[in-house]
Amino acid sequence: MKVLALIGSPRKGSNTDILVDKVLEGCKEKGLTAEKLYLYDFNISACTDCRLCKSDNYECAIKDDMQQIYPSMVEADILIFGTPVYWYGPTGKMKLLIDRMRPFIAGKKMQGKKGVLVVPSEEGPKACKALLEMFRMSFDYLGMEFVDSILSAAYERAEVSSNKKDLKKAYEIGISL
Ligand SMILES: Cc1cc2nc3c(=O)[nH]c(=O)nc-3n(C[C@H](O)[C@H](O)[C@H](O)COP(=O)(O)O)c2cc1C
């Protein structure tokens, strides 16, 4: 079983990254192989609604760094989406990636995969309602299973590293996958 973690925070080694690493620690403990990609390392253009991905090959017509990310997404059995809350939604970079998942609708390439959501925010779970719902509905539309989420209160860089409860929860989610 393969796990792909997509980090939608620009801050490497900070809250999203730390929580996702804990989930991956649990996954590796269970013998799963894991890959982690920092979305801010990639040039991801916005979907232009050209609808070419609805035709025969179900491929995105935009030739940018998503062409490197698509194969990892297709190969993974479990996808971890890690994003901080930015204005009660995901970061712009994560939203760009989600919009570019459109080829997976016609191509049905996400069907049956498991999805996990990892979200730090200053205000904690109450700030994540819209984001949580967005991912739930999107996973549903893609035919994915929403497995679990971790919504953690953290603001300063790497602040979550002192939150033993949420780190344990993240690890346990990884073990459960
Ligand atoms: C542009 C921007 C918008 C943000 N919007 C919110 C928000 O609406 N609600 C909230 O609770 N935290 C908000 N935050 C705080 C981040 O979610 C928080 O600092 C988070 O821990 C950052 O995660 P990271 O360390 O992985 O980058 C915002 C931060 C930034 C930079």
Shortest-distance atom of ligand 1 to CA 156: 19
85 lines ligand 1 (CB under 6 A): yes
For the whole model, what pTM was predicted? Answer: 0.98
What residue's CA is closest to ligand 1, atom 2?
Answer: 86
* Long-range CB contact pairs, 161-168, < 8 A, 24+: 161/18, 166/19, 167/18, 167/19, 167/22
CA atoms within 13 A on the CB side of 166: 24
Separation between Cα atoms, residue 135 and residue 139, nearest integer Å: 6
Domains, the chain, ordered by start: 2-176 (3.40.50.360)
Has residue 32 got a pLDDT over 80? yes
152 lines ligand 1 (CB under 6 A): no
pLDDT value of residue 132? 98
pLDDT value of residue 56? 72
Model pLDDT for residues 88-140, shown as the tens digit of each residue: 999 999 999 999 999 999 999 999 999 999 999 999 999 999 999 999 999 99
Element (H, E) at 150: strand 145-153
The tokens for 86 are 């930015």
Model pLDDT for residues 47-100, shown as the tens digit of each residue: 999 999 998 789 999 999 999 999 999 999 999 999 999 999 999 999 999 999
Separation between Cα atoms, residue 25 and residue 171, nearest integer Å: 6
Alpha-carbon Rg of the chain, whole angstroms? 15
Shortest-distance atom of ligand 1 to CA 16: 26
120 lines ligand 1 (CB under 6 A): yes
pLDDT value of residue 22? 98
- Report the residue among 12, 18, 119, 121 best suited for mutation to probe ligand 1: largest number of ligand atoms under 8 A from its CB: 121
Separation between Cα atoms, residue 77 and residue 105, nearest integer Å: 17
Flag the least confident range among 30-44, 49-63, 86-100, 156-170: 49-63
Q: How far is the CA of 114 from the centre of ligand 1 (A)?
A: 26
